[in-house]
Amino acid sequence: MPRVKRGTQHVKHRKNILKLTKGFRGGLRNRIKIAKTAGTKAGAHAYRDRRVKKRNARRLWQIRINAAVRKLDLSYSAFTGLLKKKEVAIDRKVLSEIAQLQPETFKKIVEFVQ
């Protein structure tokens, strides 16, 4: 069986790794061994932080709703309880946007729930 040299595959693999680490600082962008680990770690952090971003957004919505509800002499937990009791199906994201951009509409929602 003849010997197969795989130089093109090797170069292609390295080129893909370096493409992934483009823009990194120092040797992280152009030294293959270090670039490989840097790219792997960067991917892991990106994956994790996409979930953290969603988590932080949800916390922000809750804070905004709480601030708007406190002005109307109610707490966030009481407000969410009343929403469930009245079976109002508006999610936190939409509620926070209404509270921030249209305070009068939000006030009507709170009055309806009470």
User: Which domains does the chain possess?
Assistant: 11-113 (1.10.1900.20)
How far is 45 from 30, CA to CA, in rounded Å?
A: 20
What does the pLDDT look like over 29-45, one tens digit per residue? 999 999 999 999 999 99
How far is 6 from 72, CA to CA, in rounded Å?
A: 71
Return the H-helix or E-strand segment holding 6. none
- Cα angle: 6, vertex 36, 4; to 5 degrees: 5
pLDDT at 22: 94
Residue among 87, 94, 95 nearest 113 (CA): 87
How far is 69 from 79, CA to CA, in rounded Å?
A: 7
pLDDT at 6: 85
What does the pLDDT look like over 55-112, one tens digit per residue? 999 999 999 999 999 999 999 999 999 999 999 899 999 999 999 999 999 999 999 9
